[in-house]
Amino acid sequence: MTQKLKDEAILAPANGVTLIDVAKVAGVSPITVSRALHKPEVVSEQTRQKVQQAVEQVGYIPNMLAGGLASRQTKLVAILVPTISHSIFADLLKAAMDGLSEAGYQSLLGITDYSVDKEEQLLGTILGRRPDAIVLTGTEHTTLTRKRLGASGVPVVEAWDWTDDPIDMLVGFSHEAVGTAMAQHLYEKGYRRFAGLFVSDNRAMRRCHAFYEALSVLGIEADDAVVMSPPASLKEGREGMRELLARDTRPEVVVCSSDTLAQGVLAEAAEQGLQVPSDIAVMGFGDMANASQLHPALSTVRLDSARVGALIADALLKRFEDQRSCVRLDMGFELIDRQST
């Protein structure tokens, strides 16, 4: 099931917040703001606090570059992803970086470890270097992150997610739509006893909630999902499967938040002498390169991560040429039915 692409052109964000804006909010002179930020020892504690509160209020980021460079392109694009150990994000990164590199832009990589707080910390450092653009994974961010990005005037692409309230540009898909589609698909195949195995990443949990809500609409009362801490691994998949099998009623199908967890489920099923799919079926998410080569071949949800990366690069290059360009693309997804279901 491939969802329709949407492409909207809207106005880009306004110019960034300046030191003068901070001074107005703090009720002090611009030179006092500069001293409070760069030489805090020469101003009073009361003044320093007023300036810091104003900085946070307007989302100002001190410029770490030399003054003569402030208005020039740095040819640097910052890309933040939760991990590089997963091939989905590695493929996205390579495609985005290749597309940008061909146009003369270099990429700065940041790893958030699935944490919006770490994302906030990284951005606090990155924005001070004035990158030409920033790419974020997902649409869940701290309030301060959104404020800083909105105030900076730096082009932003949110990827691997969908929202009706993006910061700027958007290239992704709806995790809620994925969860709903998985439930409906497996129900139509005749499964009635469902179990979920998900990591606690917010995008995975949104798929989880949508999956269980769709089952409820279909009249299915499923046991609670087993939720593991990210990142996903074969070990977590095996441990989660053991927990599911220890329950009073064995599920007919286990839905996993990633192909990695699903591989662990398959390994544990084999260890316990269960046949897939006759004893228990398994479905993953991501369609990793080896998903079709497993035994049995893994049913999953296909996402063209390399295409997402290429479209991120294309969206940014369009913005660099035309400040009014603001691409928003819903990439959709595809359910892949293989032997494991």
Secondary structure of residue 270 in the 3-state scheme: helix
CATH 1.20.120 assigned to domain 18-58? The reply is: no
Token pair for 213: 């809500």
3-state class (DSSP) for residue 304? coil
- One-letter amino acid for residue 5 of the chain: L
Q: What is the pTM of this model?
A: 0.79
Query: Do 291 and 297 meet the contact criterion of CB atoms below 8 Å apart?
Result: yes
State yes or no: pLDDT of 67 exceeds 80.
Answer: no
How is the chain split into domains, by residue range? 1-15+72-173+304-333, 18-58, 175-302
Confidence of residue 8 (pLDDT cuts 50, 70, 90): very low
Can you tell me the mean pLDDT for 156-162? 97
The domain made up of 175-302 has a fold known as: Rossmann fold (3.40.50)
Type of residue numbered 96: A
Q: What is the pLDDT of residue 60?
A: 83
Q: What digits encode the pLDDT tens for the residues 179-213?
A: 999 999 999 999 999 999 999 999 999 999 999 99
**Lowest mean per-residue pLDDT among 53-57, 135-139, 272-276:** 53-57
Residue 331 CA from chain centroid, whole number: 14
pLDDT score of 10 more than 50: no
At 194 the pLDDT is 97
pLDDT digit string, tens, across residues 68-115 = 444 467 899 999 999 988 888 999 999 999 999 999 999 999 999 999
pLDDT number for residue 35? 86
3-state secondary structure labels for all residues of 114-136: CCHHHHHHHHHHHHHHCCCEEEE
Give the separation between CA 30 and CA 26, rounded to whole angstroms: 10
Confidence at residue 66, expressed as pLDDT on a 0 to 100 scale: 46
What pLDDT was estimated at residue 42? 87
Percent of the chain with pLDDT over 90: 74
Q: Name the fold adopted by 1-15+72-173+304-333.
A: Rossmann fold (3.40.50)
Asked if 1-15+72-173+304-333 and 18-58 have one fold, the answer is: no
- What's the whole-number average pLDDT of the chain? 90
